[in-house]
Amino acid sequence: MKYIKYFKESVDNISLKDKLESIVSMYEYLWQEGIDPDSLNNFTGNCSVLFVGCTKCKRKKDGRPYEFDIECLLKKLDNDYRKEEKLQKIEELYKLSLVSKFRHTKEEIEQFLSSVLNMKVTGAKVIKSSKIEQYINGWTKKPCFSIKCRIDDEFLPMDEVDVRGKNRKELEELEDEFYSYYRLIYTRLSELNPREIGYTFSMNNNSHNLDFYNFYIRLEQI
């Protein structure tokens, strides 16, 4: 049986084995970083399908990822009736495996944003709580951070439970107060200038759903 070692591309001449190693490396990276695989076109799911029957061990109870056997896949490809389909899938996954890695950890980003997340007005913190997540933008294929923030109810004229059943007209005072702090936080974030550490930033909220308590800060790696 012929042993396939190399599959030449017209452009970069990267060996098939090297491509598979790059794919497996990205798979392990996504798992280790806790990144949502769906944000990279379901990368981990596609890897699992590609390597069916070529895993050194099954997924363990502690959540460790599969250990993919590259040599096994290479040997099986020669006689696989789905060879062309799998080669195409390898090309797709290989290109995805080349996307930029995260330059910073979640903890480092939280530290960078600490002056915003801990901002005080009249001695009290404006942001009551925050939660940071990391993902890869499905469109731009760039690493991103999303920080969900909640403004402390003490700064707003109405508790969230009192909002139920009210229309937007009845919530004008709440909306105005929310946006006054929202703009203040945006200004502070602009002054911090995330571009200095290599990120563009944006802020958004769910005010269209009458949520005048939570908002999001998003950083995308340049």
Instruction: Give the whole-angstrom CA distance, residue 155 versus residue 181.
Output: 9
pTM of the model: 0.78
Q: Long-range pairs for 82-88 at CB < 8 Å and ≥24 separation?
A: 86/50, 87/7, 87/16
Instruction: Give the whole-angstrom CA distance, residue 30 versus residue 117.
Output: 27
pLDDT of residue 9: 38
pLDDT of residue 20: 95
pLDDT of residue 63: 61
CB neighbours of residue 219 within 10 Å: 24
Give the chain's domains with CATH numbers.
16-97 (no CATH), 106-221 (3.30.980)
pLDDT of residue 61: 56
pLDDT of residue 108: 97
String of DSSP letters for 6-27 = ----TTT---HHHHHHHHHHHH
Instruction: Give the whole-angstrom CA distance, residue 79 versus residue 89.
Output: 17
Contact between residue 158 and residue 115 where contact means Cβ atoms under 8 Å apart: no
Mean pLDDT by 10 residues, the chain (222 residues): 34 80 92 81 90 76 75 89 92 93 94 97 95 90 95 92 88 96 97 96 94 97 95
pLDDT of residue 188: 96
pLDDT of residue 109: 97
Contact between residue 158 and residue 58 where contact means Cβ atoms under 8 Å apart: no
CA distances from 33 to 15, 100, 101, 103, 166 (A): 27, 13, 10, 12, 42
pLDDT of residue 216: 98
pLDDT of residue 60: 57
